Structure 1
Amino acid sequence: MNVRAFISLAFAVGLAGTVAGQICYPPFTLVGSKCVYLETAEELSWQEARDYCRGLGSDSGVGDLAAFPICDDYVAFARYLALNAPTNKTMWMGAHTLFTPNMWQWVTGEDLQTGVPFWYYNEDYDNTENCAAADGSYYYRLIDAHCDLVKNFVCEIPPMRKEQVAEVVSAPEALVDPACHDHGIVIGDYCYVFYKHAEPWEVAEEKCRTDHHDQGGELYYPSGCHEFTHMAHHLEAAEETDTYWVGGVDISGNEEWAWVNGENIPGGPPYWATGEPSHTHDNEPREHCTAMTAGLRYYLQDVHCSDPHPYICKLRFF
């Protein structure tokens, strides 16, 4: 039975997923705030895949290629693909260029910025490759591809219940603010001070705590995907070329990564560059500390803690 027939049967027999809190009709699965279906058997061009998805629907609307303008939703989706998609598959997503080369947009209408958090850091954005796909080789981050290539794809349909409107990742506004001490810069909801003097990681971490004790200073770490995105986009917009220390460390030496506040740093999206953290137990000296690097579009990488780098202190408003 094909997917369209299965969904029609689901409507007919009332397989509405209100049982146990489920809000997606089978074979769709709730991932983040989306009802998604992975088509791993049939391969189509981007437009053919979109037409296929549009043929799917529910009481709340028609289907389309899956779009994830919400950062946390995309992270949940990438983890879902890692667990459920065939190994290293590349799957069409609901994003394409609009009007001019490299002006990307989700099919739901939201703008799609390049770089953090959605794209593979080394994507070169070929002007002839105007459709986006999630690539399993790069933690299921986006790559651009020729739209007429045939690939598997991901469809979505609206959930049965009206989903809550969530914040869309947008370009950050960086301002000097009187409430931001010591010539800091406001990015998003926080105040940061950028130190160009290079220090080892432990010295940078101590200086952020002691020099900015009254403002609750810490070596920068993101509270979530949006804050991380804002910082990466600020560094790119400022044309920074330095490598900056970040408040993440391998706490046990056994690849157990945590922020300086003690919270776990998950692997893969949204923080780590593809192939990072890269150290192994045979590396001497070990790469126990994290940095944001221009060469990786400011995704995280692990580096030697004794290396000197500039650093960012994160201050709090009281």
Structure 2
Amino acid sequence: MKMRAFIPFAVALGLVGSVAGQGCYPPFTMVGSKCVYMETALEMSWQEARDYCKGLAGDSSAADFATFPVCDDYVAFGRYLALNAPINKTVWVGAHTLFTPNMWQWISGEDLQTGVPFWSYSEDFDGTENCAAADGDFYYRLVDDHCDQVKNFVCEMPLMRNGHEAKLASTPRAAAGPECKDHGIVVGDFCYVFYQHEESWEVAEEKCRTDHHDQGGELYYPADCHEFTHMAHHLEATENTNSYWVGGVDISGKEEWTWVNGENIPGGPPYWATGEPSHNHDNEPREHCTVMAAEKRYYLQDVHCADRHPYICKLHYI
């Protein structure tokens, strides 16, 4: 397919200057901390789309495929697509395999691990599909596809403030790992106790509070996407097939999901598996409680609270 040479009038306008008070030149839009442009009129192969993205900036600045190595940016991007993309579209983004099959990397240089939080849990990575796209059928999580397929695509341009590219601060991390008590282990920056005996959700929640009272124990819930990602990858690395109770609950029975600390659990990415939570008002008994589900690569799934599962306690004090 031969790439079209023209640049839309709106794009050309965006190249000559920024709109006062905005961090992105039109037609690029601020999504999370990124300036992105979604092309919905043209469909191209992955490489053609990348060349098109690079051409949008002319000589003024670097433009390329959009990349989202930071989870919060990818979540913002997925929600932007859900609101603005044609229904159930799949759009190319800037990720592909490097050197060997299934060694994924963003074109900006960061490694891209499979599973939580970026990929569809059902992706099977057959080794022949080497380019990544965000798929509307899977909450706009990533799927792999043949690079010569034609799709819409998303471009990125550096964020501009006062004529300079903004330097984004990296996510702060603990200077040193904690020392865990009560047979806890460190995963990422926190201590957790993994119980392999099975309990109902209510019993698991109570045991975390009472058995680890001195450490501020609670049934596990993530403070953010970074913590959730660490936990999911840890559970996958243990190579067991258990699904674990975690501290998400529909306490009102009206599909109003919160963590046990009272904070809202947003729908879609980064926490829920595609199609979850799946219960509705006709389910009897209702599925009010959450597990990190092994069969869904440890994304969240809603299940019956009386079911019995292993569980994870999070320790807030050490």
For this structure pair, what is the TM-score category when the shorter chain's length is used for normalisation?
Answer: over 0.9
User: How many pairs align?
Assistant: 307
Q: 1:18 to 1:186 in 2, by over 3 A?
A: farther
Q: Which amino acid aligns with 1:45?
A: S
Q: Which residue of 2 aligns with 1:67?
A: 67
Contact 2:15 2:26 in 1 (8 A): no
The Cα offsets for residues 89-117 of structure 1, whole Å up to 9 and x where unpaired, read as 00001000000000000010000000000
Q: Distance in 2 between matches of 1:88 and 1:2?
A: 27
Q: Is the 8 A contact 1:33 1:163 kept in 2?
A: no
Q: Deviations over 1:214-256 (max 9, x none)?
A: 0000000000000000000000111121010010000210100
| CA spacing shift, 1:263–1:99, aligned 2, 3 Å | same
**What amino acid is aligned across from residue 167 of structure 2 in structure 1?**
E
Equivalent residue, structure 1, for 2:282: 282
Distance 1:59 1:266 in 2: 40
Aligned to 1:55, what secondary structure does the other structure show?
helix
Match of residue 213 from structure 1: 213
Residues 60 and 75 of structure 1, relative CA distance in 2, 3 Å threshold:
farther
Q: Does the 8 A contact of 2:15 with 2:60 survive in 1?
A: no
Consecutive aligned runs of 4 or more in structure 1 exceeding 3 Å deviation: 1-8
Q: Is the 8 A contact 2:249 2:288 kept in 1?
A: yes
Q: RMSD of the alignment, in Å?
A: 1.8
SS of structure 1 residue aligned to 2:278: coil
The correspondence of residues 108-187 of structure 1 with structure 2, limited to 5 A, is: 108-161=108-161, 162-167=166-171, 179-187=179-187
- Give yes or no for contact 1:257–1:265 (8 Å, CA) kept in 2: yes
Residue 188 of structure 1 and its aligned partner are, at CA, apart by 1.2
Residue deviations 1:152-190, cap 9 Å, x none? 000111111313133499xxxxx8x6x311111111111
Whether 2:18 is the aligned partner of 1:9: answer: no
How far is 1:264 from its partner?
0.2
Which residue pairs with 2:258 in the alignment? 258
Counterpart position of 1:172: none
- What percentage of residue pairs aligned between the two structures are identical? 74
Distance 2:60 2:205 in 1: 50
**Cα deviation 1:251-300 (Å, max 9, x = unaligned):** 21010000000000000000000000001111110000000011000000
Classify 1:64/1:11 alpha carbon distance in 2 versus 1 (closer, same or farther; 3 Å): closer
Aligned to 2:302: 302
- Normalising by structure 1, we get a TM-score of 0.93
TM-score with structure 2 setting the length: 0.93
One-letter amino acid of the counterpart of residue 6, structure 1: A
Distance across 2 between alignment mates of 1:152 and 1:301: 31
Structure 1 match to 2:196: 196
In 1, distance between residues paired with 2:152 and 2:115? 23
Task: Name structure 2 gaps, 5 residues minimum.
Answer: none
In structure 1, C-alpha distance between the alignment counterparts of 2:84 and 2:260, rounded to whole Å: 32
Q: Give the whole-Å Cα distance in 2 for the aligned partners of 1:24 and 1:163.
A: 14
Could you tell me how far apart the structure 1 residues matched to 2:216 and 2:60 are?
Answer: 47
SS for the counterpart of 1:254 is coil
| Counterpart-to-counterpart distance in 2, 1:286 and 1:110 | 41
Alignment check: 8 A CA contact 2:214 2:317 kept = no
> How many angstroms apart in 2 are the aligned matches of 1:239 and 1:126?
20
CA distance in 2, matches of 1:286, 1:272: 18
| Offset at residue 4 of structure 1 (A) | 5.5
Q: What letter corresponds to residue 223 of structure 2 in structure 1? A: S
Preserved CA contact (<8 Å) 1:28 1:37: yes
The corresponding residue for 2:291 is: 291
- Separation of aligned partners in 1, 2:117 and 2:92: 18
Alpha-carbon distance in structure 2 between the residues aligned to 1:259 and 1:145: 35
Using the alignment, how far apart are the partners of 1:308 and 1:118 within structure 2? 29
Q: 1:168 to 1:232 in 2, by over 3 A?
A: farther
2: CA distance between counterparts of 1:290 and 1:136?
Answer: 24
For the 8 Å contact 1:60–1:158, the answer to whether it is kept is no
1:36 aligns with 2:36: yes
